Structure 1
Amino acid sequence: FFIGCIPNQMATYSLYRALVKSSALYGVASSLVVRVLDDDPMQPVTQDETVSVGGTVTLTCRVTESDNSSLQWSNTAQQTLYFGEKRALRDNRIQLHQSTGTELSITIGDIQLSDEGEYTCSIFTMPVRTARATVTVLGVPGKPQISGYEDAVQEGGKVTLTCTSSGSKPPAKLHWYRDQKELTGRPDVVESNPGEPTYTVISELTLTVGRSDDNALIACAVDHPSLAHGDKGSEQRIRVLFTPDVTIQPESDLPREGGKFHLQCIANGNPEPISYVDGSVLRFEMLNKSDNGMYLCQADNGIGKVQGQYTLLVQDPTAMSTSSGVDHAVIGGVVAVIVFILLCLLIVLGRYLIRHKGTYLTHEAKGSDDAPDADTAIINAEGGHSGAEDKKEYFI
């Protein structure tokens, strides 16, 4: 109750000193005074800000209640920037953003590293109340520069690239990439820039290159909190010298006797092959079986000589193409099945006929066993049952 009746902050401190004299009341007095100061509606409230070089920062000072006392912003050198709505310092970068009885907001444009520091907001009451806001200025790193690559490197050799970026604060971080895949370089070297609170960052990358690295894109990117819209980066395309790969491409897969045919030697290398043994194309105006054999093609691009080979097998003129061969194979299979079925039917039918023929011969021979002579046996065999009836005698 007693504390609530204290008219102003000065009286609060007077009470505090009086209470401190009594050691028994020291703890109670401390908590009461701190609570009064924290709940002071006239105490200004500010906020720390971070901005990049060249950007704009807004400094805002607020109080909960107003007794018509003016708010004031001062810079790091304690020069008054704004007093209420009145600008005190002739600096066109500093503009009034908002001024009311409980708030004073100003903006500072085109921020420089020299603008970093503590800014003070004051309200001229009894006593004067103040609050501080720290402005941190980020040094924006420059676009990285890649050096160390001068000319194409032969396969198996090494390339050392150096990436450098200046002007960052705090020091930036550098990253290496090959076609979007991150590579591991040496740890960054950080150097202070003379006369400036900024840094230069250096990173090195060493690669042992192969033919797959030819025409690869190596990139160095800068990572820094001041780069709100993504990393800054530079790219370097590298070239690798390597011996050629040689393949021999035939005109068709079915070289036929008597027809025209050619083989083309295809070589890829860096640099491109400039010479072929006997040329890059071998032509046959009329194929013959005597052309059968292995053919070699050798290419030279100045880095090395490589040869490829192709085995030529001349086919008969009646040879079918691969595609028609598949169709004929299917037809041949169907014909084979039909022939097999017919053979099975013939075997069954033959066995049936042989069986019935034996029965016929058995009946045909009946009546010849009892014949007295050959003529009678023949007559009986030919006559069958009719002969038996001829032997019948009738008496009247």
Structure 2
Amino acid sequence: MNKDDAIAQWVSIVTNADKSHQDEPTDLWGTQGVRRIDHPCRTRWWSDSTYANTPVSCRIWAGASQTSGASVYKLGPLSRLLWRVSRGNFWRTGTTVRRNMPAATDSVVWAVFLVLALSVVLKVDGASYRERPKSADVLKGDTVTLHCTIDGLPPSEMVQWYGPPDMRHISSGNVIAKRFKGRYRILGDTSRGEHNLQILRAANSDEGEYRCSTLSLDETADATLTVVVPLSGPPDIIGDTAPRKAGQGLMLTCTSVGGRPPPRLTWYNGTRPYKLPDDAFKEGINKGEVMLNLVIPYLTKWDNGANLSCKADQGFPSLVKPRTAVKVLNVRYPPTVTVTPKSSRVMEGESLNVTCHVDSNPPADVDWRKVGHALPFRVDNRGQVLHLDRVSSSDAGIYQCIAENGIPPDGYGTFTLEVLFTPRIRQTFDTKVSVLYGQDGFSLECVAEGNPRPQVRWRRQNTELYMGNPLVLSPVNYDVEGKYACVASSPGFASVDKETFIDVVGKGM
């Protein structure tokens, strides 16, 4: 059997295809021993007598097809060749592999071994993807399936799966490569073109790009698998957590360690996210540690009690929930006081309550005082509530609430009390007033008080004649002698009066 026939026989056994000939390798690297060639496998028969009767063979690792008629093997993107040289030196000149001056007795045997599954199919028209693999997410330790269905495949053609690392060959048809056996398997009805890749107990090393392809298709279908490792716990909030005074600043750091992929950290004030500069995010010195700084340059009273939360979100809500850490701010600030009501108008004899509302942290001590006076004895000072019982006209005035919590300044608030009462005529004249006859003029003033301020007039007895106040009599004679009444009137109250007798004395009859 000649060399050509021998190779044809071997190719027929291995690939059930025609022999290959009249071509040569296009890339060879390494000098001796095992060589790998990342290109289509082509074998050239030389006429050199040195190679007479030398069996030469080319065996393909994976992903090869032979085009009908041309007898040329076409390899997939990850196909590999192994060249084994038992003796002799070889080198590369151009695109030809030649032997360097072999001795006549040298025995050179070239053997290329099938390392992975061999897939040799005839290229056909009409094959197409019915279902392409879709990118998927899986929790570490769980099972995930990447679906791939190709229509129009002849029975002899095999579907290939490739994956991480570096698009390693995973399977040909239903046959799983050795390194992937155990956790990988092909599911589905292969007669219908279904070649679904299932991965059991997903590990970190399973993450990456996967490809489902066949050599009868010029296109490939890729998908990304993400293996999610959940966080071991919520993030930590680190910083000065002691109570702060209003006006001071605050810096906190949210730290999360572990998890795959690393979480995205976000600071919130209640439900409102903070907008932070890019340099607020940092990677820690430990592997898998991420940090996000929050700087509040000026705290206010409104920050007291705020829920500052840091959320760590890995971005896969269907697999893992975000983890959150919360810190409640304690901001100390001086009292602010609001008094209700601010003022009040009451009838004499009524009672009322006045409340001093204090906003402070810590809580303040509250006291009441009347501006310019001591508190009336009928006042019950009950801390924030001032109780005035059966008020009188003397209770009218301005009251002040003072709140103090040790953080200056103290807080102040005021309340104004107005008391309505009936007119009262003061004792400024006697019941009988003597006036000298012939006096050019005489006046008598009536003083009255009340709220509203009363109108004061004089009226002579048994007449409806009203005179102003003070009462003026001029000239003084016996005609003006008689009883006069001082009348004080206020809206909403009955009028009050006080009488006096004007006695004219002097010139006899």
- TM-score scaled by length of structure 1: 0.57
CA drift of 1:298 comes to 0.8
Q: 1:103 is paired with a residue of what secondary structure?
A: coil
The residue number in structure 2 matching 1:333 is: none
1:326-365 matches, cutoff 5 A? none
Contact 1:118–1:132, Cα closer than 8 Å, also in 2: no
Q: Distance in 1 between matches of 2:325 and 2:282?
A: 18
The residue number in structure 2 matching 1:209 is: 299
Q: Deviations over 1:292-315 (max 9, x none)?
A: 221112111222321211122111
The residue number in structure 2 matching 1:59 is: 146
Contact 2:202–2:227, Cα closer than 8 Å, also in 1: no
CA drift of 1:203 comes to 0.9
Q: Distance in 2 between matches of 1:251 and 1:117?
A: 71
The residue number in structure 2 matching 1:316 is: 421
Q: Distance in 2 between matches of 1:138 and 1:191?
A: 22
1:235-254 matches, cutoff 5 A? 235-250=326-341, 253-254=344-345
Contact 1:99–1:105, Cα closer than 8 Å, also in 2: no
Between Structure 1 and Structure 2, the one with more helix by share is 1
Write the letter of the residue equivalent to 1:115.
D
CA drift of 1:247 comes to 2.6
Q: Distance in 2 between matches of 1:284 and 1:130?
A: 92
Task: Name the CA shift for 1:251/1:184 in 2 (closer, same or farther; >3 Å).
Answer: closer
Q: Distance in 2 between matches of 1:15 and 1:97?
A: 32
5+ long unaligned stretches in structure 1:
1-5, 18-35, 319-396
The residue number in structure 2 matching 1:9 is: 66
1:126-275 matches, cutoff 5 A? 135-140=224-229, 142=231, 143-167=234-258, 171-187=262-278, 188-191=281-284, 194=287, 199-207=288-296, 208-228=298-318, 231-250=322-341, 253-275=344-366
Q: Deviations over 1:101-124 (max 9, x none)?
A: 23221322442212124557688x
Write the letter of the residue equivalent to 2:419.
V
The residue number in structure 2 matching 1:291 is: 395
CA drift of 1:214 comes to 1.6
Q: Deviations over 1:343-383 (max 9, x none)?
A: xxxxxxxxxxxxxxxxxxxxxxxxxxxxxxxxxxxxxxxxx
Q: Distance in 2 between matches of 1:74 and 1:16?
A: 20
Deviates more, 1:66-75 or 1:273-282: 66-75
Q: Distance in 2 between matches of 1:192 and 1:51?
A: 28
Q: Deviations over 1:197-244 (max 9, x none)?
A: xx4321111122211112112232345443457754433221221112
Between Structure 1 and Structure 2, the one with more strand by share is 2
Contact 1:242–1:270, Cα closer than 8 Å, also in 2: yes
Q: Distance in 1 between matches of 2:263 and 2:205?
A: 20
Contact 1:112–1:137, Cα closer than 8 Å, also in 2: no
Task: Name the CA shift for 1:82/1:310 in 2 (closer, same or farther; >3 Å).
Answer: same
Q: Distance in 1 between matches of 2:229 and 2:255?
A: 14
Residue 412 of structure 2 is aligned to residue 307 of structure 1: yes
Contact 1:52–1:226, Cα closer than 8 Å, also in 2: no
Identical-pair percentage: 25
Contact 1:259–1:286, Cα closer than 8 Å, also in 2: yes
In structure 2, which of residues 201, 204, 212 is the aligned counterpart of residue 113 of structure 1? 204
How many residue pairs end up in the alignment? 287
The residue number in structure 2 matching 1:358 is: none
Contact 1:218–1:235, Cα closer than 8 Å, also in 2: yes
Q: Distance in 2 between matches of 1:167 and 1:215?
A: 31
Deviates more, 1:95-104 or 1:248-257: 248-257
CA drift of 1:52 comes to 4.1
Q: 2:347 is paired with a residue of what secondary structure?
A: coil
Contact 1:61–1:104, Cα closer than 8 Å, also in 2: yes
Q: Higher relative contact order at CA 8 Å, sep ≥6: structure 1 or structure 2?
A: 1
Q: 1:255 is paired with a residue of what secondary structure?
A: strand
Q: Deviations over 1:241-288 (max 9, x none)?
A: 111222333599332212333433332211122353574244433322
- TM-score scaled by length of structure 2: 0.46
Task: Name the CA shift for 1:15/1:110 in 2 (closer, same or farther; >3 Å).
Answer: closer
